[in-house]
Chain A
Amino acid sequence: MRTTALIIGAGHAGLAMSRCLAERSIDHLVVERGAIANSWKTERWDSLRLLTPNWQSRLPGLPMRATDVVDRDGFRSMPETVALIEHYARIIAAPVRTGVHVTRVHTYGGGYRAETDAGPITTRCVVLATGACARPNIPASAAGIPPGIRTLSTAAYRNPDQLEPGGVLVVGASASGIQIADELQRSGRPVTLAVGEHIRAPRTYRGRDVQWWLDGSGIQDERIEAQDDPERARGVPSLQLAGTPDGRMLDLNALTAIGVRLVGRLVGVRDGVAQFSGSLRNCAAMSDLKMNRLLDRLDAWAETNGFGEMLGPPERYPATHIERAPALQLDLGCGAIRTVIWATGYRPDHRCIDLPVFDRSGRIRHTGGIVDAPGLYLMGMPFMRRRKSTLIDGAGPDARELAAHLHALLDRQSRDRIRPARAAAPHSGFPTFPF
């Protein structure tokens, strides 16, 4: 099989790219190992709702749906999210082949060849839209967990009934960890939550959803080029948010109030004893400081733009409460803990890429999704081009810009093919087609 651009992955990111290539009449194919919206169908827990409100699932070529007009500020359940992505694939008529697993991508002729379980595909360009959350990021200390204890990643966790009764250690206190800790504690399983660096944020602020603020003030649109330390910006964990229909704030204080026990970051397991960092107080203090700095910034934005009138008064929240001496150790052998949940983040899975494009830590080197192998692109990576690059809402602008880059590259390649001996001709000013 042959195509001009091969998109790997039919999540919202691959589909958004498909739409942007179609707008430019660039021949392409989307291959997906499972079904459309596979990650939402197979790697999420049952009670999960999007933490972005309905109005924020904007995708190129997707008209706002009637249901979203009614419930702009609601949070989609998993079946609703799957339905949204499937609906999107349908209305943009994306050329998706499902059940096609790409096992290897390598250079071939002037472009690439993808080996798949349905035969090879040759192509000039490849867009890797295989997801930023493809694999759970499990710390090395996992090896020390005693064998009698069940361990699950957030990708394998479904609901409390899946777990035996008894205590649970949830490791990680970003969006996934706090939601799962909340649900498990309410199911009657005493939860200990290991808390490292985390980003606290209110669900609603001055009467508006926090995403309204982050979107309106331009924070979600901040570009990677504008960051002092792009590496650090890309490593920032998800906001402590949940798609709570009642708008309640799910932070560490809310978890403490229902009986969750907070401990520091898990630093190791020695002789069956989990050891936690003594840095919990500082992690909480840092998070409170950062939240207040964010709120100051949002208040200033509202003030400058004259929104003050239509909003509630500025609010500040009580500091995160940390007990005087949080536990530093937890004996995993005594039966008090039956399950450990790794809510320690995710990483992409680009192991099928057989090209010299990886950095020392095994990540693909790229500038805003443009990989330094001509015609190879990424989608959906953390803070790839803008803060919201991994969000549904971020795929559109990223795909638009990368599609333009890909288009220009095809133009250049076909010009060079026609006049190989000459230097690149000056641009005529008219768009040229790659064929």
Chain B
Amino acid sequence: MSKSITLSGVLPAAGFQRLLDAVRDAGFRTIGPRARNGAIVLDELSDVAELPVGWNDEQVAGSYRAAKGSGDRLFDYVVGPTSWKRFLYPPRRELWHAQKEGQAWVPEAPADDFEPTAFLGVRNCDIAAIRTLDRVLLDSGYREPVYDSRRSKIFIIAVSCAAPVSTCFCTSMGGGPTPTDGFDLSLVELGSGNDHRFIISSGSERGAEIVSALNLDEVVERDLDAAATQDRTSVEKINQVPAMANARSTIAATMRSDHWDEVADRCLSCANCTLVCPTCFCVDIEDTTDLSGTSVSRHQQWDSCFTMSHSYLHGGSIRKTTAARYRQWLSHKLGTWHDQFGSSGCVGCGRCVTWCPAAIDIRVELEALEESLKEMTTEEA
């Protein structure tokens, strides 16, 4: 993937089904955005009508609202509570099982039956999140076998964001509304009604191959101008977080700040932020046995540093207080992730902000830490 990006052409929105069919004919099932119980989630689809046609979302700290409007656009909303991590590194997975024969047993790993899958409507922040997970699960010592195999079976169809919300801050994390890399195909949705169309770019050979059969229209000046305007408008709408630039050093210097106790007064320690986060990788591992105790299955499942068991040592947890647990989350995500994997663990998707029942905003907390650092340094001076 991510060789040279080529502008492939323009697909009229009326022909979107042809793209879905071409992807299916190439051997991929498709997972993409779908409206479910008032939220836009990721699930299998095969028909364009299954997309959240005309849906929009509104997201602020602690609140999410998505609803069908009168329009006909396919992607005028941003990320929902699900991330692609759910498919690449599922919430629960068997690692191995074993059957006792007498006293002896031999562990066996199950085969992974993940089919080749097209991810449709991947936002640029989520491409960055997949790259971040790659660094954790593939490039830091050994390759996580199931993630590795699933990663090689996905076909990424990205889409530019035309309707960012208040929780978006990708531009402060090195991203932006338009994907530039890391996809097989990328879409820019333009216009509506009779003028509704998609500029398609390809970022891989197989991407180019799939679109070559679609008889796309030629990209003209008018399309490029519209795409540029849409991108600029989105960039202007996306909140800037200047404090991110120094996040790592701010956090390192404020690990003993009182501010953590202040956040802890509001934080419910519910773990929502880590569960919606597209890069959190912590897992717990546990046994399930049958009644006779002769067969065992060992599973891993998503875990969170907000649980007491995460830091448990016999005698008690290391991070007993909410303050210590919130600090682990924020300082890992924005700080020590750099030490571990050479990048921030945050991509600016804003999910943790939206889905926090207490409306705690990681950006605001970082800014408060920066403030508390200034106070600390003036006191010392």
A and B: bona fide binding partners: no
